[in-house]
């Protein structure tokens, strides 16, 4: 397990050098430029938890009859594909 961890760290250092991230500050600046949060990942303070967001889907105008018609159409297409194959 230690050998695997050492390889992982070594690989990360190599990749960081290849893409120009020579320090933790360079990594943080790249994250900030990409639109990420400005947080010191190597600091002592844990990140503040964001308020959970509830996603409510938009109300659909679909009717049970319409859904049943779509199911029948899809089943018919499926059967045609299977018979052609």
- Span 6-55, pLDDT tens digits: 677 777 777 777 777 777 677 777 777 887 776 665 666 666 777 778 88
| pLDDT for position 77 | 92
For residue 60, give the DSSP letter. Answer: P
- pTM value is 0.30
Residues contacting residue 22 through CB under 8 Å, at least 6 positions apart: 16
Is the per-residue pLDDT at 74 higher than 90?
yes
């Amino acid at each position: 397990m230690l050998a695997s961890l050492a390889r992982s760290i070594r690989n990360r250092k190599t990749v960081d050098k290849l893409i120009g991230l020579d320090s933790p500050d360079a990594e943080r600046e790249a994250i900030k430029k990409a639109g990420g949060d400005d947080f010191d990942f190597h600091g002592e303070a844990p990140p503040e938890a964001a308020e959970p967001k509830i996603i409510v889907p938009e109300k659909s105008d679909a009717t049970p009859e319409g859904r049943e018609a779509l199911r029948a159409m899809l089943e018919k297409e499926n059967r045609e594909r299977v018979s052609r194959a």
